[in-house]
Each structure stands twice: as structure tokens, then as C-alpha cells.
Amino acid sequence: MGLPENTENSDTMTPIVITVLLLSVAAVSPCSIHVHGTKKLEESVSVKIAKANANVKRGLNLTHGDIMGHMGGGEGILRNALPCPSGGCKWPKTGNRVIIPYEISRAFTKQQRTTIEKALRDFSFGERTTCVRFVRKTETDINYLSFVSQTGCWSHLGQTGGRQLISLQRDRCVRKNIVQHQALHALGFHHEQVRSDRDDYVIINYKNIIQGAEHYFQIVPTNNLGTPYDYHSVMHFDAYAYSKNKQQTIIAKNKFITKFGRATEMSDNDYARVNRLYECCE
């Protein structure tokens, strides 16, 4: 759009001022904390994952909808973000970098492999960045992520050691936001709406949740790393996640927030938390 001809009028200056303000907000430090940071909206991560995981066998032991493995007792449940009792669920740091080897199954098409690689590259490339570097696995790597196309979208929580699977069912899960969502699980992060202080920010309508999915919304005693609650995190469920009656399962206590949990990529807070957990900015 062109500028209005009469720029002396204060009313016509408003769009220009707003544009400048928006540009200044967009220029964020990778170690800064901001509430917003997503681009456009589309079908939410939680909806996509729920659809993909509808046919996952119960024996696979998924908790919170898409996290593989046991999460009870004193092991694993504090992984968003750490400490773990043994300290072993945090990927090790080499110098100033967290190097995470990965491989991608040949079951994925070339285009799908590119989508996965680009989603991982965003952790270390662009205006927003972290000290995490996803690199191609070599023969000498013992601990690494292995992206496979099994049933559903799921990941383990934190580093488990050895070959660590992340499932991205190729006809349902190969999307940038899902890849980053599962990668963040592997780095040690839970869903946003189960963090320890979530009741200060959202209301969970258990009466609207599909029977058997109630535990997906169970609060976890997380370490929130001093960051604000982020409705726009790629780790947040949307308002109708796992609804049995098309009514909201999550309601924001802030009445001005009506759309959330629909990120198409990691938010500023997602980047900042990775940096804080892995001490990228120390």
C-alpha cells in the first residue's frame, strides 16, 4: 500500500507509527523473553497429532498424547525442564554448542526429508537462534535422534541414550510445527498447558475432554526457567484439543486471548527456553 498523500494530518500518520512499532517488536534478541512470536495460523499442532495418534497401539505407552515412555514417580516427570535425578536426560554441551546427531529414515520422500531438515535448521539459523545444532549422524555417534515413519507423531522426553526414535508418520506428521514440537520434547520440554503454574493462566474444562484423554492435561511440576506462560508456544494445545463435544477444553483466563495453541513454528519463548535450559547465553 502507498503512503497517503497528506502526511501532515495526524490521523493518517497512525498506520506509519504502528508499522514502526511492529518492526521494533520483531527485532528480538535470541535470549530475550517475549510472549508472542508466531506467524500465521493454521490447523493446530494438537489437532494434527491427535488425528495421527488415534490409531497408535496402547502398548506403545504414550503419555500426554505424544510422549513415549514412563513418566511416573521420580523419573522423567521433571524433564520440562530438568533436573533429572541422574542428570542424564539433558543433551551434553560441547564447548558453547549442544551437538545433537540425527538420521532420517529413507521411508520419507526427498521433500519430506527437506521439511524435517529445515525445521531442525531453524534452531540455529536466522534472527532467532539457539546453541543447539542438529548435525548428520556419523558412524562414531552413539547417542542420536532417529526420525522414522511409524504410526503417529511422538517423541521421548529428553535424552534417553542410544538410538532415540522420533516418529513422524509420513502422511500425517511431516509438518514444520510438528517436527519442532517433537524435537522440543526430545530436548526435555513438556506441553505448555501442563506446566506447574498453568492454573493461573487457563481453565481446563474436564467435562468436555474425551474420556481417557484427561491425563493429557495433568499438571507437571516443571521448572519454568523464569519464563512467562506462552499461549503461542508450539508446545501449547489449542482451545478445543481432545474435545468430545466441540466445546472448549482450554479457556484462557485473559479474556483478550481467544486464539492460542495454533503456532506454525516455535515462538520467541520456545527459543528463549532452549537457550536458558542449555545455558546458551551464559
Peptide bond into 81 cis (omega under 30): yes
Range 36-277 classified under CATH 3.30.1050.10: no
**Structural contact between residues 266 and 184, judged by C-beta atoms closer than 8 angstroms:** yes
Residue 20: per-residue pLDDT? 30
**Structural contact between residues 177 and 263, judged by C-beta atoms closer than 8 angstroms:** yes
Residue 30: per-residue pLDDT? 53
Residue 72: per-residue pLDDT? 43
Distance (Å, whole) CA 225 – CA 207:
31
Residue 86: per-residue pLDDT? 42
pTM: 0.81
Residue 7: per-residue pLDDT? 42
Residues in the chain predicted with pLDDT less than 50, given as ranges, are 1-28, 39-41, 71-79, 81-83, 85-87
Residue 31: per-residue pLDDT? 65
Set of cell numbers at residue 129: 537462534
Distance (Å, whole) CA 88 – CA 7:
61
Distance (Å, whole) CA 200 – CA 229:
9
Q: What is the largest CA-CA distance in the chain?
A: 69
Residue 127: per-residue pLDDT? 84
Residue 69: per-residue pLDDT? 75
Residue 281: per-residue pLDDT? 81
Q: What are phi and psi of 121, to 5 degrees?
A: -65, -30
